Amino acid sequence: MAIRRLRDSSCSVARSLSLLGERWTLLVVREALTGTTRFETFREHLGLTADVLSDRLATLVEGGILRREAYQEPGRRTQYEYFLTETGRELHVVIGALQQWGDTNLPRPEGPSTLRRSELTDAPVRVAFVDPEGREVHHDRVDIIDVDGVDERAQQAG
Amino acid sequence: MAIRRLRDSSCSVARSLSLLGERWTLLVVREALTGTTRFETFREHLGLTADVLSDRLATLVEGGILRREAYQEPGRRTQYEYFLTETGRELHVVIGALQQWGDTNLPRPEGPSTLRRSELTDAPVRVAFVDPEGREVHHDRVDIIDVDGVDERAQQAG
């Protein structure tokens, strides 16, 4: 019920969380971003039970974030690999934003476990708001415009 | 147990989610970003029970994301308002990234409910990876460097 309400929500944060908000789901995506594709590798790296991992992978395939491909090693039964779709790869910026926030606000004594660099220039990258010219805008200088609220007020006025 | 493991995790995505991953927590932050401060307003806008809202506000105050301030209206008992700290305001980029992903990948027929604009230029803003010069880097051109893995490999080699 709660999930359905969130999925139908007018707010895309709520809709995103209805798909991604379950514990472990975003961690499976983070793991896939580092190149993991096989069930056993996900399980080893995340320390999940097979049941929980199966459930999260199924949610992500159903949600169009991962696609599943069969493979077979000689003498073994068919198994599956999981690859991020373009929709899934677009979550990199969400994961990057969460990681950056955690590194700043919940730091480890030994520093960040992960860094991000531009493949082209090798320079470190951060997640930020940018304007159409690609210039950074500080988060305190970003206004939130409630489109539905504006419509409602316009209708009431009209 | 699971929460403790996540909090202790070497991965800052996991640590961030241990604080923010409970259903509704990020939606309370999103609501605070739009200027909501009072319990009753959070409750009306989010449609939460008082118990769940109290719990999420307590988590966010304890986590240093919101600070609580007492206020009193004539003839009524002391009540509290909730304001984002700098740590909390830094979540704007996480919420913005989730919203952008949802608007693209789980769109409503009537379009986004919320837009973000630069307070300075009124131009629309997006969330993206940027390099130290503030230039945007496409998410498929961002490499993830596993620092702990590199250390471990260096130790094994050394």
- Range of the structural domain that residue B64 is part of: 24-147
In a domain? residue B19: no
Percent helix, percent strand, percent coil in chain B, to nearest 5: 50, 20, 30
Q: How close A58 comes to chain B (CA, Å)? A: 18
Of A33, A113, A119, the CB nearest to B12: A113
Instruction: Mark yes or no for CB contact A106/B19 under 8 Å.
Output: yes
CA distances from B29 to B25, B65, B89, B95, B121 (A): 7, 8, 9, 8, 25
What is the mean pLDDT, run by run of 10 residues, along chain B of 158 residues? 49 84 88 95 93 95 96 91 96 95 89 89 95 90 79 43
Nearest Cβ partner of B142 from A10, A92, A103? A92
Residues from chain A contacting residue B136 (CB–CB below 8 Å): 130, 134
- Per-residue pLDDT band for A74 (boundaries 50, 70, 90) equals very high
A123 located within any domain: yes
Asked, for residue A35, whether it belongs to a domain, the answer is yes
The answer to whether position A45 is within a domain reads yes
Mean pLDDT of all residues belonging to chain A: 86
ipTM surpasses 0.90:
no
Among the ranges given (A51-60, A93-102, A146-155, B127-136), the one the predictor scored with the smallest mean pLDDT: A146-155
Q: Is A126 exposed, middle or buried (0-12, 13-18, 19+ CB in 10 A)?
A: middle
Q: Which among A89, A125, A144 has CB closest to B33?
A: A144
Please report whether residue A84 resides in a domain: yes
- Report whether pLDDT(A23) > 80: no
What CATH number should be reported for the domain holding residue B111?
1.10.10.10
- Assigned domain for A1 exists: no
Nearest to A70 by CA among A61, A59, A62, A81: A81
pLDDT at B102: 92
Based on the structure, what is the number of domains in chain B? 1
What residue of A is the nearest CA neighbor of B94? A97
Residue A78 maps to a domain: yes
- CA nearest neighbour of B114 among A15, A64, A134: A15
CB count, 10 Å around CB of B122?
9
8 Å CB contact of B87 and A94? no
Q: Which residues of B touch A152 (CB under 8 A)?
A: none
pLDDT (tens digit, 9 = 90+) per residue, A35-62?
A: 999 999 999 999 999 999 999 999 999 9
For residues A103-108, average pLDDT: 88
In a domain, B9, yes or no: no
